[in-house]
């Protein structure tokens, strides 16, 4: 530019596009006409995270922020369920929602994956069950066979005197003592014992 001498100093110091000015971020000097291009690549230029987490970091740290810190980066669940969530939601998913996380059975205290717990509950030896013959007893699964074999009053058994009748255990004592045709009775006259039939 050609200017009057008395305006030249002001132009050189304040207006000329060829004058050198420092970048307010990296402090290096650039021509005014080159500053716009520099701002597009200045390593110290503060940028807001493009993924929307709200973090402001300088350009040369943004890749590290996204790779290591940003909570909005999508990642797959580390337990292998296949779900992909933002990084800042993964901890809650892994600890509270993932079907591949391990939880203890409330009965046997052994850890199982959530997705396997239903199958385990159908087999857990320590789960409490009502007697399948409806005697009112509650026993753990592993003791149910023993309960039915020895204790359940509703199990059907043959009369031990050999009359051939089958009754629930709770009716057998009455049958043997008062109704079975093979029970022994005492004659009121001679006091000898005979089979009732």
- At residue 139's C-alpha, the angle toward residues 170 and 142, to 5°, is 115
Average pLDDT over residues 145-150: 93
pLDDT in tens, 103-137: 999 999 999 999 999 999 999 999 999 999 999 99
How many other CB atoms are there within 10 angstroms of residue 130's CB atom?
12
The correct answer on CATH 3.30.40.10 for the domain covering 5-39 is yes
pLDDT in tens, 154-188: 999 998 888 889 999 888 888 888 888 877 766 66
How many other CB atoms are there within 10 angstroms of residue 65's CB atom?
18
pLDDT in tens, 63-101: 999 999 999 999 999 999 999 999 999 999 999 999 999
Helix (H) or strand (E) holding 30: strand 29-31
| Cβ 63 vs Cβ 76: under 8 Å | no
The model's pTM = 0.57
Tell me how far apart the alpha carbons of residues 21 and 30 are, in angstroms, rounded to a whole number: 6
Tell me how far apart the alpha carbons of residues 57 and 85 are, in angstroms, rounded to a whole number: 23
On the CB side of 28, how many CA atoms lie within 13 Å of its CA?
11
Tell me how far apart the alpha carbons of residues 167 and 185 are, in angstroms, rounded to a whole number: 21
pLDDT at 194: 54
What are the extents of the domains in the chain?
A: 5-39, 46-97, 102-151, 156-195
Q: Which CATH superfamily is domain 46-97 in?
A: Zinc/RING finger domain, C3HC4 (zinc finger) (3.30.40.10)
How many other CB atoms are there within 10 angstroms of residue 98's CB atom?
21
Cβ neighbours of residue 157 closer than 8 Å, sequence gap 6 or more = 166, 167, 168, 169, 172
Top-level class of domain 102-151: alpha beta
């Amino acid at each position: 530019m050609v200017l009057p001498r008395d305006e030249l100093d002001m132009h050189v110091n304040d207006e000329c596009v060829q004058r050198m000015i420092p970048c307010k971020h990296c402090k290096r000097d650039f021509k005014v006409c080159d500053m716009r291009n520099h701002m597009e690549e200045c390593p110290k230029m503060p940028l807001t995270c493009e993924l929307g987490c709200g973090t402001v970091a300088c350009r040369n740290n943004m890749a590290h922020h996204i790779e290591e810190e940003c909570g909005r980066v999508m990642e797959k669940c580390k337990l292998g369920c296949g779900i992909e969530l933002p990084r800042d939601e993964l901890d809650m998913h892994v600890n509270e929602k993932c079907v591949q996380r391990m939880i203890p059975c409330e009965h046997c205290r052994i850890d199982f994956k959530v997705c396997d717990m239903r199958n385990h509950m159908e087999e857990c030896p320590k789960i409490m069950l009502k007697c399948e013959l409806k005697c009112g007893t509650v026993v753990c699964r592993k003791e149910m066979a023993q309960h039915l074999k020895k204790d359940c009053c509703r199990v059907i058994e043959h009369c031990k005197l050999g009359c051939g009748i089958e009754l629930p255990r709770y009716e057998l004592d009455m049958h043997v003592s008062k109704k079975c045709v093979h029970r022994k009775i005492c004659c009121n006259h001679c006091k000898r014992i005979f089979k009732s039939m």
